[in-house]
Amino acid sequence: MTHRIVILGAGYAGLGAATRAARLLRPADVELTLVNRTDRFVERVRLHQLATGQPLPDRPLSAVLAGTGVRLVVAPVVGIDPGAGEVRLDGRDLRYDTLVYALGSGTAVDDVPGVGTHAFTVGDLDGAQRLRARLSALDPNGTVLVVGGGLTGLETATEIAEARPDLRVTLVCSGQFCGWLSERARRHVRRVFDRMGIEVLRDSRVTRVGGDGVVLDDTRRVPSDVVVWTAGFAVSGLATAAGLATDRRGRLLVDDRLRSTSHRNVYGVGDAAAAPTPDGRETRMSCQTGLPMGRYAAAEIARTHAGHRSKPIRIRYVWQNISLGRRDGVTQFTRSDDSPVQAVLTGRLSARFKEAITVSAAWLASR
């Protein structure tokens, strides 16, 4: 009997799982189906580039999957029934024997009043396209406020400032500016921000977003023509609604084989899953962990299907790559637990390194 494997989501993790499973499993033994809400593979780590008007590579999933034997279904997922082994799509149901949950994440827009109504995001293709249209219509001397001091916030603020030096860009961060980086890396980011004229509001938390700016936790009002929200990730509520074990953020709880802790025929990969790391912490949401998780899950499914011995995943961190516009950047090398070391790469060399890693990640996911 043909074993039905359904993979939900065609981001780095889901597409990586699909393409590797196609290489490791015999078509006569399994039926591989990849479900995605759009017919394109989107390089999410480039969406801040798209927002500033730069073209992105067009990667139709049909072309990526040609010759692999993977069936592509373009439809939104509206529900999962683990008891029946079914995925509910918009208009039909899809049966599975093994499910790979790789629905990724988006921007958290529900935690602060007004974000969903007034702010722009770069967490998905639609959001980045809306921001691109708004920025292109913005007059010189317009103001842009980027909320969130993480990697996405740094990359978005510098990309906008470089592409539109006629705009006034401000970054709001709730804690220490770049506090997770080493001092050497922080100094470089500060120099780049100073050179680009980006103002930083440190230790400031936004409590409300309006059509003309934001309100901070000290009651200050900061006016802005455009508010870009990058403060935090959110995942789909489908896993929780289906009765799968999830954490407080809605991420699928998985073991060191990436199997659901509550349903053994479900695997979780990428941002949508909370996998354990060697030091006991959960994985950070990033391409750096998502792609290896997807490829590991495919190999683990193949081992299990063949009756071979299982082996745990070892999730280790190596670096954090941060682009600061197209010609500058900082690469913070890390210990395996993601804590920073003093070794960093900066400037054009870091920008080129980041570009090489981004290109190779898309290549690996699609092959």
Q: Which of 139-148, 276-285, 334-343 has the highest mean pLDDT?
A: 139-148
Q: Which pLDDT belongs to residue 257?
A: 95
Please say if the pLDDT value at position 186 is more than 70: yes
74 contacts 316 by C-beta, under 8 angstroms: no
Q: How far is CA 188 from CA 273, 329, 345, in A?
A: 33, 9, 10
Percent of the chain with pLDDT over 70: 99
Indicate yes or no: pTM above 0.75.
yes
CA atoms within 13 A on the CB side of 95: 6
Tokens of 241: 């609604």
Please say if the pLDDT value at position 323 is more than 80: yes
Q: Which pLDDT belongs to residue 280?
A: 67
Tokens 């092959």 correspond to 367
Query: How buried is 362 (Cβ within 10 angstroms: 0-12 exposed, 13-18 middle, 19+ buried)?
Result: buried
Please say if the pLDDT value at position 205 is more than 80: yes
| Distance in angstroms (rounded) separating the CA atoms of residues 83 and 95 | 11
Band (pLDDT 50/70/90 cuts) for residue 330 is: very high
> For residue 333, what are the β-bridge partners?
319
| Distance in angstroms (rounded) separating the CA atoms of residues 353 and 12 | 19
Residues 156-185: tens digit of each pLDDT? 999 999 999 999 999 999 989 999 999 999
Q: How far is CA 132 from CA 51, 93, 120, 225, 325, in A?
A: 4, 36, 10, 14, 16
Residues 49-74: tens digit of each pLDDT? 999 999 988 999 999 999 999 999 99
Band (pLDDT 50/70/90 cuts) for residue 222 is: very high
Query: How buried is 198 (Cβ within 10 angstroms: 0-12 exposed, 13-18 middle, 19+ buried)?
Result: buried
Band (pLDDT 50/70/90 cuts) for residue 295 is: very high
Average pLDDT over residues 194-203: 97
| Distance in angstroms (rounded) separating the CA atoms of residues 201 and 205 | 9
145 contacts 215 by C-beta, under 8 angstroms: no
Percent of the chain with pLDDT over 90: 86
Lowest-pLDDT choice from 133-147, 279-293, 299-313: 279-293
Tokens of 74: 């373009």
Band (pLDDT 50/70/90 cuts) for residue 317 is: confident
Q: Chain-wide mean pLDDT for the chain? A: 94
Q: Which pLDDT belongs to residue 52?
A: 97
Nearest residue to 167 (alpha-carbon basis) of 124, 131, 114 = 131
Please say if the pLDDT value at position 6 is more than 90: yes
Task: List the domains of the chain with CATH numbers.
Answer: 3-104+236-306 (3.50.50.60), 107-232+317-365 (3.50.50.60)
9 contacts 102 by C-beta, under 8 angstroms: yes
Neighbours of 265 (CB within 10 A): 15
Residues 243-280: tens digit of each pLDDT? 999 999 999 999 999 999 999 999 999 999 998 876 66
| Distance in angstroms (rounded) separating the CA atoms of residues 56 and 46 | 8
Residues 335-345: tens digit of each pLDDT? 988 899 999 99
Please say if the pLDDT value at position 82 is more than 80: yes
Nearest residue to 161 (alpha-carbon basis) of 184, 174, 145 = 145
Please say if the pLDDT value at position 212 is more than 70: yes
| Distance in angstroms (rounded) separating the CA atoms of residues 282 and 313 | 13
| Distance in angstroms (rounded) separating the CA atoms of residues 333 and 317 | 9
| Distance in angstroms (rounded) separating the CA atoms of residues 146 and 109 | 14
> For residue 169, what are the β-bridge partners?
144
Q: Which pLDDT belongs to residue 367?
A: 76
Q: Which pLDDT belongs to residue 28?
A: 86
